[in-house]
A and B are shown apart, each in its own frame.
Chain A
Amino acid sequence: MSEAILQTAGLGKRFGGRWAVKDLNLEVNAGDVFGFLGPNGAGKSTTIRMILTLLLPTSGNVRIFGKDARENRRSVLSRVCGIVEKPDFYLYLSAYKNLEILGSLTRKVKRDEIFGALEIVGLDSRAQDKVKTFSHGMKQRLGVAQAILTKPDLVILDEPTSGLDPQGMKEVRELVLKLSKEHGTTVFLSSHLLTEVEAVANRMAVLNHGELIAQGPVSDLLGGDSSYYSIQASPVEGAVQILRKNPWVEIVSVGNGIDVRIESKRAAELNKLLVTNGIDVASFAAKRTLEDYFLKITEGASEV
């Protein structure tokens, strides 16, 4: 049985007359890598700010390690750390000094620990350079180093891969998995990229316009083995006719290209089917954007 490490109950925040986040009930269990998915402006950062006591909730509360986060702020936050929005540091101080100052707010940090954290994110050789000289990607990595420096039990990362190149994104994802597997750290990670959540998370919640749309194991929510593909083929009509004859192919839309939903393991089969029937396939790509996911969720809802 896993225990809830982070729970929000009826959590909401209103800015002026608008609810940025409304009636949010999240549950993150020990050991989870929890993906918090939502498009820009969905309310992810606002939620994270409330969790980390930066914003006073308009409604509801946050419990971390079973305790109210505001009432037990000190003890709770000594075991939690993270990044909220873009990574901002004291630009006039070195990376080392930044970590020393921030870390020492939580507890005494040793020199080795600071270098350890910097090494994990590959910045140890730049330890003494002023953060002013860092690229966005380096600051993002320093943000992660800052978050894991004091070895918290719960790490909250707000879009940690935003602004990173593909290689950087991959490194951060690997780091998240490593934290989870090797250190047993619970990770709460927000993202607007479905692929990212799918790559690292075991459980996820989807937020849109401040409201929770779905929450559960990633494999359940993403339908496990069926997925969307986008096909560029010519002639289009011919391709559609062939696809129609195969009941295991669900045609989602026909426009510029053809969007279909099939079991992932039959992707190669579908490609071959088209080609052997004399259709030119210019491209055949898995389509896994959040929009598709929303489409799927709303479809699912109307089927009930």
Chain B
Amino acid sequence: MGLFDRHAGLLEAYRDVRTTGADPFQIRMERVLSPTEAIINGRKTLLVGTNNYFGLTFDPSCMEAAIEAIRAEGTGTTGSRIANGSYSEHVLLEEEIAAFYGKKHCMVFTTGYQANLGVISTLVGQGDHLLIDADSHASIYDACKMTQAEVVRFKHNDPSSLESRLRRLGDKSGNRLVILEGIYSMLGDSAPLREFVDVCKKYGAYVLVDEAHSLGALGETGRGLCESAGVLDDCHFIVGTFSKTLGAIGGYCVSNDPDFDILRVTVRSYMFTASLPPSIVASVRQALRVVQARPELRKQLWDNVATLYDGLAAQGFKLGPEHGPVVGVHLPDRMLAIGFWRAMLDAGIYVNVAVPPATPNGVSLLRCSVCAAHTPEQLQHMIEVMTGIGRQLGVLSGAPKLRVVAGSR
């Protein structure tokens, strides 16, 4: 048996995708012009699939901070946090994130993926119980493979499904850790966090919330779903990323647990990889200041979400269940999703395409992510283009239907 034989099914599916034209998984951004535009295939393309919720990748103050840091401290740390890779700025960044959340401790990781992978797999071990939402991100699933704890999935966003699983554990020994996400990355829906927290309290379970897509977007001061649901104090661990709203790369975990720092010498994805370069630390510190100083970015983001979501819904597109910075457009099957995606790209608009097995319930999606920097005109244009393609491909029936729109911020 050859090394690649086990991937035969996937290879075949992938070949199918490629024979029909451009490969959605090998798109090249020839030149990025701004948070909302890039040159792709030689032409200017509108970007509506970059997780760049506040558009901070080109924020002049963040860029300047990064450039200055490179001049002062060089391009990289060439070492891990437990060796030569802890600079004063890493520690300052950790203090600033902890202060932002009003928590005592913070650890910064080189990516959000590594934060989830390392923290989750280390917090629970043999004899413990890890309970995860069925639609959890890959980094959470991968953490499950690295722990000796017993892992059980509960139904997506369903507190009663979590409750029955906690109840079944009865008086078995071992800690219970429940993993939730602020906003789910495929359909843009958020967890009924308060209800989840109530269940967790009832059964004495610890709660970890991944705010990857909700940092900046949710909460009065942008701290995410934990803040908007009013349960910051009840969430024992909050994980997040610098790679979306903060426009850079990296991850973090905050907590009030007095022994939290022991993770610095136990979490392998923290210990055995190089730390973030000075330029990233500097731009993230500045981006966090921008998030706090410019709440209008949050309002712009949600105004844009409403424009895109309501506009697409009014045309009859089937969308995720509620307004969110991620707008997932349901399409009937994989080939149609890829065909639609490609037609969009030909029309000068880039979105993400998400197909099984990367999606929940085997759905095929065009995954759009909204940016505060999108103009209403850009989004109107996108709605028009999508509607035209949707009609051509038979996804939309001829006459536009008005539809009641669910959800709000």
Answer yes or no: are A and B bound together in one complex. no
B residues adjacent to A (C-beta < 8 A): none
